[in-house]
Structures are given as structure tokens and as C-alpha cells.
Amino acid sequence: MAKIGFIGTGIMGLPMAKNLQSAGHHLYFSRLHKAVPEELIGKQGTVLDTPREVSKATDFIITMVPDTHHVEDVLFSETGVATGLSRGKTVIDMSSISPTATKAFAERINIMECDYLDAPVSGGEVGAKSAALTIMVGGPEDAFKQALPLFEVMGKNITRVGENGDGQTCKVANQIIVALNIEAVSEALVFASKAGANPHKVREALMGGFAASKILEVHGQRMLDRTFDPGFRIGLHQKDLNLALATGREINAPLPNTATAQELFTSCAAHGLKDSDHSAMVQALESMADHPLIPNQTP
């Protein structure tokens, strides 16, 4: 059983940490940034003062925090993870952050003769709880193999995409496609409904052909059922598309439809939908067309 540091025990981190404890691992937390949930503390969970102490006490240090600057802070501040590292330890960042910043972070960790893995996830809180996360990993093959048993406790569909940064790049690509497929289904269903067709029937007919997608299946159904409890919140998807667009600008990769999708999410936020499921993007198209997808359900 491994000694694992785990920093970031929020909506995603909490169930992931629990799954590691259930598999028999002892976890070390830091009280510096945020209180650690009681349920994680005890026989298999120890709370220390700072990320530095967590880093000293463990072999693998997992971070699961909201954004790029949080990772930078946890790793490289005065009492950060980096200050407690010694040769042979592995830092595993499972947050969804900038691919280019990730490459720089990895270099700074490698200088200390430690490995770095970027390992962002998709699948949301449901996937975290049921240990069914998709995990996209960037980093050295050997470090990946050593960490694989830990990943297998938290997820199901685990791929080593390539070197450091490539895991984060893959996650951004995932969020681009998911947003644009939601937008595509929204345009198509609102168009069809306003043209007079039954959108339930249209979705059914399209599921058999080239328009078929996981999003048409799952999010298309949510749009028709008007079930917009998250799921994955619009506010979080805005953060991820911001990452896509900011990185796109850094590397000169234009993302025309991602930019529009982001503005549609912003319109959703303007109408109080920031905490709704991202399938609620359909409401931006309904507003624009002044047409509810389902009769008698105002957009």
C-alpha cells in the first residue's frame, strides 16, 4: 500500500480520495488551504499543516484543485509540495489546467529528480463517486506504469496520451468537442422544433445515422426532458473553454466555433444558468429563436 498525499478534497477530490482509502491506501492531507472533510480523517487519513509536510511524508502527491494558479500555488509556494520533495517521488496533477503551464511545472519538478504526471479526468462527480472516471495522462511511461494502480482505483478508461502536457491538451480537446456537440444538438433540435417537427422523433431518427453521438443520446434527452440539474455545470465548462481559447491564442490555433459556444454559455450565465447542467445551452438557442423546444415550456 502506498503513502499518498492528496491536496484538494472538494466535489471531485473527496470521492476520489475515498476510493483510494477504500483500496487500502493511507492518505495525507494539508490543512493549509482548506479544511479537510471529517470523513477522510482517521485510520487511513492524516492531516498535516502544509503541502510541504505532505510531500515529505509520501511517495505520490496528487493535486486536484480548481485552476492553473491553484496548482502553481500548491506546488511552488514557500511551503509548497516542491519544497518537500526528494529524489524518486511523483507529483500527479489531476486538476484540469493549462497544457503550456503544465509543461513548465513538469520541468521544475523534473529538475528535483522527481516525476510529474498530468492526469486530468472527465466524468464529473458521478464518475468520481463510482470510480468510473476517464483519465488522460501525460508523462513518462515508467511513472505512468507505477501510478496506474492508483488510477485504476479512481477511473476506468485510462490512457497515456503522451509526454507532459499532453494529458491536459487531451482534456481541453475533450471539452471543445463536448461543448460543440451540445451546441450542434441545440441548433438542430430548436431548428427542427420551430420548423414544426417533434424533436423527440427527430432525435430518435438521428440516433441511427452519422449524427449519432454520446451527447445526442444523453444531453439531447436532457434537453427534451428539461432536466438541467448538473451533471456538469455551465460555470465549469466556461472555465474549460476559457482554457481552450487562452491556449489557442498562445499557440495560434483559431477555434471559431468554440468562441461562439463560449459566448452562448455566457448568455446562459446572464440568464442565471451558471449552475445548470451544460445541456442548458439549448436555452440560449431557444431564446435567440424565441421558441421553446417543447410547447408550453418557456425558453
Write out the catalytic residue numbers: 171
90 neighbors 116 (Cβ within 8 angstroms): yes
Q: Which residues contact 40 (CB under 8 A, 6 or more apart)?
A: 9, 14, 17, 18, 21, 27, 29
- The Cα–Cα gap between 126 and 104 comes to 31
- Pick out residues in 72-101 that bind a second copy (CB under 8 A): 99-100
Among 211, 256, 264, residue whose Cα is nearest residue 237 = 264
Specify the residue, 78 or 210, whose C-beta has the smaller distance to a second copy.
210
- Burial zone of 226 (CB within 10 Å; 0-12 exposed, 13-18 middle, 19+ buried): middle
Residue 78 or 252 with smaller CB distance to a second copy: 252
- Is 68 a binding residue for a second copy by CB under 8 A? The answer is no
- Site residue total, a second copy (CB under 8 A): 72
Name residues whose C-beta falls within 8 Å of residue 212's C-beta, 6 or more positions apart in sequence: 206
The three three-digit cell numbers of residue 38, written as one number = 471529517
Please, which contacts does 248-253 make with residues 24 or more away whose CB atoms are closer than 8 Å?
250/100, 251/100
The one segment of 66-74, 77-85, 108-116, 130-138 that binds a second copy by CB under 8 A:
130-138
Site for a second copy in 151-210 (CB under 8 A): 157, 159, 161-163, 165-166, 169-170, 172-174, 176-178, 180-181, 183-185, 187-192, 194-198, 201-202, 204-206, 208-210
Cβ distance to a second copy smaller for residue 1 or 251 = 251
CB of 92 or CB of 170, closer to a second copy: 170
Question: Mask: binding to a second copy, 225-264, rule CB under 8 A, as x and -?
Answer: -------------------x--xx--xxxxxxxx-xx--x
Asked if 67 is part of the footprint of a second copy (rule: CB under 8 A), the reply reads: no
Site for a second copy, residues 261 to 290, rule: CB under 8 A: 261, 264, 285, 288-290
The minimum distance between CB 75 and a second copy, in angstroms, equals 21
Match 417533434 to its residue by C-alpha cell. 198
At residue 90's C-alpha, the angle toward residues 85 and 95, to 5°, is 105
Q: How far is the CB of 105 from a second copy (least distance, A)?
A: 15
Measured from the CB atom, the residue of 2 and 153 that comes closer to a second copy is 153
